[in-house]
Amino acid sequence: MGKIILPHQSYAFDDIKGGNWAESEPYFADSLRFCQDWLCGQTSFELKTSGSTGTPKTIRVQRTQMEVSARATLGFFQIAAHARLLCCLNTAMVAGKMMLVRGMLWDADIYLVNPTADPFSDNKLPQRFDFVAMVPLQVETCLNNPKGLQKLQGIKHLLIGGAGLSPTLFDKIKEQKLNAYQSFGMTETVSHFALAKIEGENLLYRTLPGVKIGTDDSGKLWVKAPMAIEPLLQTNDLVEMVDEDSFFWKGRADFTINSGGVKIQPEILESQIQPYIQSVIGEISFFIGGKDDARLGQKTVLVLETDQISDSQTESLLSLFQRNIPKYQLPKEIFCLREFVRTSSGKINRVKTLEKTL
């Protein structure tokens, strides 16, 4: 029989059904109440969308959808019985809730910790885990300290989601030979419906069992998945289909910049310029956006999460861009902001952040 292990207490699943969490720390109390509802047979649950591309909203999903998702992940990774899981994601969001659901359905031991940047700060955690899901920031933090790296190397299957990987983090994961996968999904598909092993030069996403995919006339991905809230879900993701079960992701159609009739995919350009930004400024958050322009319709701009950069840094950046980036893609302006607007799950809200540059 599986159990949930908190920093100072553990509960067998059977004991959770009749538990009272009034005196527990709020985060753990909320997590245990969700488990209680699940174990007592609740048939539907409310999930919050991240709001990374629009207004956050609450949607209702059925228990069966969450079960299908958890079992598809189990089948993909072939997780053994009596597995050991670490839940270090915010359980108010779908990714954290699904870690709890997986543990309960798989009859696993779930180690539940606060969703901080360093999930392994608790010295009492085991050395090895069978399955762990993290956001890129957590992986980056762990890779940059010896204890965290050792723990990462002890994870049999590492799932990374919530945001894209920077080229630097992508290379670090490969260098350490972690068995890591980037997830692809959304709240509406109850977590991921495709996964890409972090290896090679580009991420090749493969669908979970039972998922069907294709593209519309504009190259945007559609999904038919048993775990989705709709029979057919049309996304705004531009993809390159490899076969009926796999694809390369190219970017978001709603982020596409139309500059003088030339369409620019910010995510692709960001990947190209990341090494230059790192060499001149260091490791900072940034993104490419489009702003209204009287002549071009939209112009490409670079937004950096920093108070300011020097004139020499600006000159160095522009020089590197001009030598390595096609002229029509060059950022026409550089903006510096002390702090980006982020969603509750940690993603950069590009629309609201770009509004701060007005």
Q: Looking at residue 93, what is its pLDDT?
A: 86
Residue-wise pLDDT for 100-154, tens only, equals 999 999 999 999 999 998 999 877 898 899 999 998 889 999 999 899 999 999 9
Residue 282 contacts by C-beta under 8 Å, 6 or more apart in sequence? none
Residue-wise pLDDT for 40-94, tens only, equals 999 999 887 665 445 567 888 899 999 999 999 999 999 988 899 999 999 988 8
Least confident of 50-54, 72-76, 172-176, 289-293: 50-54
Tokens for 266, please give them: 């910010």
Question: Which long-range contacts does 245-252 make (Cβ < 8 Å, 24+ apart)?
Answer: 245/206, 245/207, 245/213, 246/194, 246/204, 246/205, 246/206, 246/207, 247/194, 247/204, 247/205, 247/213, 247/221, 248/202, 248/203, 248/204, 248/205, 249/184, 249/203, 249/205, 250/219, 252/53
Q: Phi/psi of residue 221, each to 5°?
A: -75, 135
Residue-wise pLDDT for 324-337, tens only, equals 998 889 999 999 99
Tokens for 165, please give them: 């990987």
Q: Looking at residue 44, what is its pLDDT?
A: 93
Residue-wise pLDDT for 215-251, tens only, equals 999 899 999 999 888 889 999 999 999 999 999 998 8
Tokens for 222, please give them: 């559609």
The domains of the chain, with CATH numbers, are 3-210+239-251 (3.40.50.12780), 256-355 (3.30.300.30)
CA-CA distance, 31 to 16, in Å (whole number)?
11
Q: Please give the model's pTM, rounded to 2 decimal places.
A: 0.82
Residue whose C-alpha is closest to residue 357's, from 343, 339, 336: 336
Q: Looking at residue 253, what is its pLDDT?
A: 87
Stretch 256-264: mean pLDDT, rounded?
Answer: 86
Q: Looking at residue 56, what is its pLDDT?
A: 64
Q: Looking at residue 105, what is its pLDDT?
A: 96
Q: State the residue for tokens 């996964």.
A: 195
Q: Looking at residue 248, what is its pLDDT?
A: 95
SS (H, E, C) 100-152: HHHHHHCCCEEEECCCCCCHHHCCCCCCCEEEEEECHHHHHHHHCCHHHHHHH
Residue 98 DSSP SS3:
helix
Q: Phi/psi of residue 217, each to 5°?
A: -65, -25
Q: What are the C-alpha distances in Å from 14 to residues 4, 8, 38, 104?
A: 11, 19, 12, 11
